[in-house]
Structure 1
Amino acid sequence: MDLHKYISGKISLNDYLHRLNQNGASFQVHYWGVMPQHYDTPLHKHSFFEVCYVVEGKGIYTDDYSSYLLQENTIFLSRPEVLHQIKSEKGLSLLYVAFELIESESSESWIRIVETAKQCTEIVVHGKDEIETALLWKSLLIQATKRNNEFFEEVLSNIAYSLIISILQDFVPDLNKSNHMNIPEKYSMLLNQAQLYIHDNLSNSLKLTEVAKHLHISGRHLSRIFVSELGVSFSKYVRDERINRAVLLLKKTNLSIKEIAEETGFINVQYFTRVFTTMMQTSPGRFRSLFVDINTTTYSDN
């Protein structure tokens, strides 16, 4: 696999995939990497997870002063706050990603899963053939080179989320035995209907009682569905969807900030700006200008 042809895909991933929100989990992705020739790194640590997949080559991975052989089709996990190091005389072809769970936006079950991953002892997985995680990773990079696809961002987000889940399954064996990730059957249809209604009516007020009335259930019942299935409150889910829509409009339209605030259901532009800035750590105007700057930058691999 020639990784040089996926450099543009890596750039797209770093442009578009910073947060992944599905099924009660919210992941912050710090960076995506494609490294055709990786040699040595100094002994260092991160405050987040970093996962690498060896496409080609051989080397040694040191983690907490234990050493592991790296070879083709090896995936290895660098846990938060653990000293680690990569060494290779002839170079490794690597794919890598760095991420962490945003606990304040995630369910208790996801927090437990990630805590288990932090404590895992099997941090290197060798495969005779390409493992499922590698196939997802390559699929993601292939899709990331197709910026002109109509559903480009949606496809990327779904594959990236599946990749993170697959990575966690590689290192947290209990995930493969449990069905606790499944949405409860008796509520899944109601949740789907509520999500569709919210998605299609973001410019409206979207009060809990109004959405519940549309679904012919009580507000208390609807509130329980969001907490039990997604691990977030109804109001937080709506707010996140408004901001996600605002991000899309800032990227892809010339609508004014005021028009975007109205389109996403905020009561006024001041409130919209305050919520957006809190969630995205930058103002709507600054976000738009940064995005424009990124897309007009010429990248070089030299």
Structure 2
Amino acid sequence: MEIKDVVFVYRLSSPELLAWHSRHHSHDSDEYELHFFLGGEGRFERDRDRFVLSQGRLFFSPPGERHAIRPEAESTPVSYYALLFTPASEDPLRGILDDDLFRQAFPRDGGARQRLLFEDCKNGFAHPHPARRQAAAHLLQAFLWELAAEISPGDKPAPWSRQRRISRDRPEDYNVHISRAIRLFEQHLRERISMEAVADSLDISREHLTRLFTQHLGVSPLQYYRRLRMDVATSLLLDTTLSIKEIAWELGYQNPFHFSRSFRRYAQMSPRTYRQQYYRQNPTGYDTRMVKPPEGSRSRGFGDLPGKGDDPPRQR
């Protein structure tokens, strides 16, 4: 298993980003892609089908399948992960991924656990150490096998609702308190909020809030909040030309050195190294979506931009 590229797009809004991410495109014969959406209004187009985006929705695109993301409201921009990967030629997982039954089981609905998994894959992919990158690939492989276990070859496609939840997120993982707490975290990325304030807003104790997050997500609410802020920082590093100082200010850090220390604890490298490391690899020419790519990065054309020649999609 090889992860070819991972990006996290936070609040897709700039014209350059919209042009890149809204294009209809497909991937090579051995490249598969997952999209995991955190929020925003829009649709995902797959060949001639289209699907409404919602929080936690997961899409799978096999090789050769044309797909595109179509944001629809400037007031509610789309945020999501995109993960491009190639299984080894001898990996039995490849046969499952190529099965129509697997494709027809998407989209599927996940939750906070899946966000953490995509975040870990993103950080592992960006790390310069080969062992970290391999660990991320194994995380992805395990996740795909779990999905495959839910869609056995003996099952028929019909009983599988497109609204079906991923089994790793048990029903209790959708506890209303966790959902509301995460919403508060997302609303306070620039202006910090204490865990006491979150618990008070939910009318529960901080101890109960901590117990819920630890039991269902494996991290404390403070850890989740910090990881979410740093995850947004990685998007700003790759999706904008903001300086490190400007990104620190965007996330409410008055001292950029404090931001850099927090980021280093999160990603095991400095913000500057993270940005340089990604664009040094630049596996898919992703830098072409920016007005001014970082110095030394490779540039490739936008390719198949949306518009001319697109077939009218079918609504689902």
Please, what TM-score do these two structures have when normalized by structure 1? 0.46
Q: Which has the higher helix share?
A: 1
Please, what TM-score do these two structures have when normalized by structure 2? 0.44
Structure scoring higher RCO (CA < 8 A, sep ≥ 6) equals: 2
Structure number, greater radius of gyration: 1
